[in-house]
Amino acid sequence: MKKRSRMVIAIGVILIAVFGLYIFQSQHYRNTYLPRTNVAGVDVGGKTEAQANQLLQKHFKQQKFTLVDGSKKLVSFTGETAGVKPAFSQKLASLKQEQNPWSWPLHLLVGTSTAQASKSVTVDKTTFDQFVDKTVTKLNQSRATSKNASVIKKDGNFAISKAVNGNSFDKQKVKAAIRQGLAVSNGQIAVKTAYTKPTVTADSNSLKQAVSKLEKIHNEKITYTINGNNVVVPKATIYSWLTFKDGKVALDEANVKAYITSLNKQYATITKSRQFKSTKRGTVTVPAGTYGWSINTTSETAALMAKVLEGKDFTRTPTVQGSGYSTDKTDIGNTYIEVDKTNQHMWYYKDGKLVLDTDVVTGKPGQDTPSGVDFIWNKQTNATLKGTNDDGSSYASPVSYWMPVDYTGVGIHDASWQPTFGGTWYKEHGSHGCVNTPPATMAKLYAAVDTGTPVVIF
């Protein structure tokens, strides 16, 4: 009987002790997390909120991650290097409110886990972006870039090249993989699916349409009419212009401009000397002056490119600048003023007929009237011509009629101060470069001549 009583007492003591332990632990878990509580893979059981938060901060900042491409490890880094900023305060507080401290015995058997930490593991955007940029740039140095299918030139025609699958990484895809992996991975972040991929394949309708357009342009008949000459642009030249860039049919501006420049070099007259059939000295060579024309290569290049891309045959006259352009291969024509410095004489022909001629006085040796094919670019009455004499003094000579022929101050004008004209008078009493003309004759010449009239001086 005594033995039975002692057993009952012992059992009672044990039950009281167990109950007491249960009560004590339950009170303990009012301030800590239940045993085997797992937050984002980290056991925080028995930890206070502050302790659990500190543990999670340390874990995610110091956790080591490795980028893997299939079975190949590429690069390792810590969460802190990638700019990880754990933010578990709200999750931990919510978890603390939801737990039942009296259920701790059950937790010893089954435990509990919270959701993954994708929303609680944030990053410093600047640090994270710089880390990804630097990592992807370094990895891609030894990797092949994927290439879209495109249109290429081949054997004088156009063809579609196949797309190429490379193994270089797409920065945005790698960024997404790492961002997700920082919160949910076991330390290994797979990036095999983060390759760049071609976005255009060889069966693309847009590429087929581009080939068709390129071929159509290649077969255009382009003709230039230049100063009476018909110039057909060779197919090979058109081929050299054509490009396919950024998904569009285009023209190589430099090549087009080079062609226009070659036409200008061949046909423009502004910088070329002329063979001129003079009145007294037969055919003479006259250097270039202010008279002549050239192709405006900049504006003509733009105009030609726009026309070519229309894909139709066309004929055009180039945009020119200067004077003397014609459509019948003429240059000086049969209306002009001729100044023969050797014979000190001037003639004015209109439509091939002599209108007037006169002796003149040209520039004194050392201040010679410059030879060249010029033109009357202005007319003015009652002008005052100013300049510097041989001794350095200034002069101001009023004239009744003034027709400048170049841009340095040389022109044709009356010279009432000259007592005689022609012969060798110019050698001692020549002008400062202008063509001195008898006043009465100058009045007639001024009335007869239009601006733009060529002036041939030799």
Q: Which residues are catalytic?
A: 413, 434
Evaluate whether 59 touches 84 at the Cβ level (below 8 Å). no
Q: Are 215 and 158 in contact (CB under 8 A)?
A: yes
CA angle 308, 310, 314 (to 5 degrees): 60
Name the residue with tokens 């802190």.
80
**Residue 84, strand partner residues:** 123
Residue type, position 159, single letter: A
Enumerate residues 6+ apart whose C-beta is below 8 A from 142: none
Question: What per-residue string of b and e applies to 126-165 under the rule 16 or more CB within 10 Å gives b?
Answer: eebeebbeebbeebbeeeeebebbbbeeeeeebebeebee
Closest listed residue to residue 445, CA positions, set 404, 415, 403, 405: 403
Strand order in the sheet with 394-404: 380-388, 394-404, 411-414, 435-437
Quick one: which of 438, 363, 344 has its CA closest to 399? 438
Q: Is the dihedral of CA 299, 303, 305, 306 positive or negative?
A: positive
Tokens (6 digits) for 76: 């390792």
Task: Report the candidate in 222, 56, 76 with the shortest Cα–Cα distance to residue 135.
Answer: 76
With H, G, I as helix, E, B as strand and everything else as coil, classify residue 214: helix
The CB density around residue 280, as the number of other CB atoms within 10 Å, is 11
CB 267 within 8 A of CB 227: yes
State the Cα–Cα distance between residues 436 and 411, nearest whole angstrom: 9
The size of the chain, in residues, is 458
SS3 call for 332: coil
